[in-house]
Structure 1
Amino acid sequence: MGLRFSTVCVDAHDVHPLASWWSGVLGWPSEVDEDGDVVLRAPAGAGPDWLFLAVPDEKVVKNRIHFDFTPDDQEAEVDRVLRLGARRVDIGQGDESWVVLADPEGNEFCILAGDE
């Protein structure tokens, strides 16, 4: 195949605080690129880099795509990410094994049950 998955682009109303928040969640270093966008550099084997792009509007509807994270300890990671500023959200998931959270700009993501 001729394609390589290299970057996830994240639209952000306030790029630097959101990128900084995700840098803290993931533990990945961030840098500002030549266009003034913020890049989180994924460690080898951790997936694609994340590129935060400034947009003038705020998020208003449920994501059409989201991230799933598999922790070593779901409860500990959910608590940690909530302390960093995430919030729980109900997208109609019901009583499931994963936990749906949102980042400071409202982008939903899931923390799965993990390998506990």
Structure 2
Amino acid sequence: MPDSKAAKNRPHLDFRPDDQGAEVERKLALGASKVNIGQGEQPWVLLADPEGNEFCILGPRKASPEA
């Protein structure tokens, strides 16, 4: 992965799996790496594929109140 990047990657994908932790582990096993851009504690995990393209694994969607 490059030491620094000149611009934000386009497009940026967000995945919302049923099990965030399991999906992060699956992506890491497939060659992704965790990325730290100073985001601190967030409900999402920022990863990059082997070519440096960043993507997020989001937490579960909040249940909406029933009508």
TM-score bucket of the superposed structures, by smaller chain: 0.7 to 0.9
Determine which of 67, 73, 84 is the counterpart of 2:13: 67
Moved >6 Å (runs of 4+): none
**Alpha-carbon RMSD:** 2.1
Q: Which runs of 5+ in 2 are unaligned?
A: 63-67
Letter in 1 for 2:60: G
What TM-score do the two structures reach when normalised by structure 1? 0.45
Q: Distance in 1 between matches of 2:39 and 2:22?
A: 21
Would you tell me which structure has more helix in proportion to its own residues? 1
Higher RCO, 1 or 2 (CA under 8 Å, sep at least 6)? 2
- Any residues of structure 2 matched to 1:1-116 within 5 Å, and which? 61=5, 62-115=8-61
Rg larger for: 1
What is the total number of aligned residue pairs between the two structures? 58
Q: Distance in 2 between matches of 1:98 and 1:66?
A: 13
